[in-house]
Amino acid sequence: MYQVGVIGDRDSVMGYRALGMAVFEAVDPQDAAAAVDELVKAHYAVIFLTEALAEAIAPHLQQYRDRRLPSIIPIPSIQGSTGFGMRQISESVRRAVGIDLFGHDDQQADSRQTDHPQDDVEES
Amino acid sequence: MARKQINPNRMELLKLKRQLVTARRGHKLLKDKRDELMRQFLDVIRQNQALRRRVESLLAGASRQMVLARAVMVPQVLETALLAGRASLSLSVDTRNITSVNVPVFTAPFALSGSLENLPYGLASAAGELDQAVTALNQALPAMIELAEVEKTAQLLADEIEKTRRRVNSLEYILIPELKDSIRSITMKMDENERGNLTRLMKVKDMIVSQALEKARLADAAAAREQA
């Protein structure tokens, strides 16, 4: 059995305690990075991380990207979404396709890509 | 393109030809793999986007409720209520194989449902707003777990596609042209040698023939003198 961890500022993450997740409070990126390392060592399957922190330590998280576990997922903090999670999806698309199919902010790709052969796969 | 220095002999040629065949087959296989991965990836990424949108809106709702709960409850009581926690959430992890990429599959051992029954604290001690907040979070939970799975899958697939694409390209634009080039240069060299050899043989033959003719002419001359 694998556990699920949450890392973020107190207000954003305290609710998850009621769901049975392991909650770790972190305010500055260093703490968050240390907490992530800790949880990876403890074989957590899923680590939810507030978007702001995830963005701040994105280079650090890169090393876990190609591992099967853990799955490190940015979630919006209590202040709301910064769009980092969505940007990360675009990043995946960019890596796979070589170009940015879905466009940067959540808006669907605009006309500059209409002549691309992959065009028919654009909309979900 | 800088060509490698190779010995232009038949053995080298055969070796290169075999390498070319292998490289072509590998290229085709990798290309198929890439196409299949891409097909899978596009499905996954669409799912990922939809899920993330859903999770984000669910969590936004839960956050609003949580803000309300914090507003009406004494912080200590709130903390205690949440600390009361329930059995820690654990998942079993399986592995699914998508075109040789191992991706995780998360399953929660119990039904994840957002009902008031499994609130971890006494209803009396906490404000209704907290119930709402926790219920909202609870409702988001299955989607969050699914998101964790799908997003990881998308990342792993993306990385694998990138790797495969690089391999396909390096075969297509570097290895295969290089092999073709080497094969061509060896064939040319061998043809050239062959031609050189042929002319040399013709030359030698000419020399031998002319020597023989000379000898015959001398013999004829000697015979004619004797008769005379």
Query: What is the CB neighbour count within 10 angstroms for residue B75?
Result: 8
Residue B200 lies in a domain: no
* CATH code for the domain defined by A1-81: 3.40.50.10580
Q: Give residue A39's pLDDT.
A: 92
> Between B49, B82, B152, which is nearest A15 by CB?
B82
**A91-113 pLDDT per residue, tens:** 888 888 877 666 554 444 344 44
- Token duo for residue A58: 């994105």
Q: Is residue B140, in this structure, part of any structural domain at all?
A: yes
Cis geometry, peptide bond prior to residue B104 (ω within 30 degrees of 0): no
Q: Is B98 part of any domain?
A: yes
Q: Are B55 and B144 in contact (CB under 8 A)?
A: yes
Q: Residues of B with CB below 8 A from A121's CB?
A: 42
Distance of CA B110 to the CA centre of its chain: 36
In chain A, residues with a C-beta closer than 8 Å to the C-beta of B156 are 66, 68
Number of residue pairs across A and B with CB atoms under 8 Å? 148
Asked whether the beta carbons of A86 and B38 are under 8 A apart, the reply is no
Residue B47 lies in a domain: yes
Query: Total domain count for chain B?
Result: 1
- Determine, yes or no, domain membership for B187: no
Q: What is the pLDDT of residue B72?
A: 84
How buried is A91 (Cβ within 10 angstroms: 0-12 exposed, 13-18 middle, 19+ buried)?
A: middle
Give the pLDDT confidence score for residue A106 in this predicted structure: 42
Cβ contact (<8 Å) for B52 and A66? no
User: For chain A, which residues lie within 8 Å of any Cβ of chain B, measuring from their own Cβ?
Assistant: 1-4, 11-12, 14-22, 45-46, 48, 65-66, 68-69, 71, 73, 75-81, 85-86, 88-89, 92-93, 95-98, 102, 121, 124
Low-confidence ranges of chain A (pLDDT < 50): 105-124
Q: What is the pLDDT of residue B3?
A: 55
Model pLDDT, residue B153: 93
Residue A61 contacts by C-beta under 8 Å, 6 or more apart in sequence? Answer: A36, A54, A72
Backbone angles phi, psi at A77, to 5 degrees: -85, -175
* CATH number of the domain residue B80 falls in: 1.10.287.3240
pLDDT for position B140? 85
Amino acid B6: pLDDT: 74
Q: Which of A75, A3, A64, A67 is nearest to B95 (CA)?
A: A67
Cβ neighbours of residue B224 closer than 8 Å, sequence gap 6 or more: none
Instruction: Please tell me the predicted confidence (pLDDT) of residue B86.
Output: 63
Per the DSSP assignment, residues forming a β-bridge with B91 are: A2
Tokens of B173: 């634009």
**Consecutive 10-residue averages of pLDDT for chain B (228 residues):** 69 93 96 93 92 91 86 80 71 87 83 54 68 82 90 92 93 94 92 95 96 94 89
Identify the pLDDT of residue B49: 92
Q: Is residue B228 part of a domain?
A: no
pLDDT digits 0-9 by tens, A41-50:
999 999 999 9
Query: According to the model, what pLDDT value does residue A95 have?
Result: 85
Rounded to a whole number of angstroms, the distance from the CA of B164 to the nearest CA of chain A is: 10
Whole-angstrom CA distances from B77 to A11, A19, B84, B102, B136 are: 14, 17, 11, 45, 20
Domain ranges within chain A, ordered by starting residue: 1-81, 83-114
Give counts: helices (H), strands (E), chain B.
4, 2
Element (H, E) at A54: helix A51-56
Q: What is the pLDDT of residue B216?
A: 94
Q: Mutate one of B33, B37, B41, B45 to test the A interface: name it (highest A CB count within 10 A).
A: B45
Q: Indicate the burial class of B169 (C-beta count within 10 angstroms; 0-12, 13-18, 19 or more).
A: middle
Amino acid at B228: A
**Is B217 within the bounds of a domain?**
no
Give the pTM. Answer: 0.79
Distance from the A68 Cα atom to the nearest Cα atom in chain B, whole angstroms: 6
The predicted pLDDT at position A41 comes to 92
Instruction: Decide if A55 contacts A82 (C-beta within 8 A).
Output: yes
Which range of residues forms the domain containing residue B45? 10-182
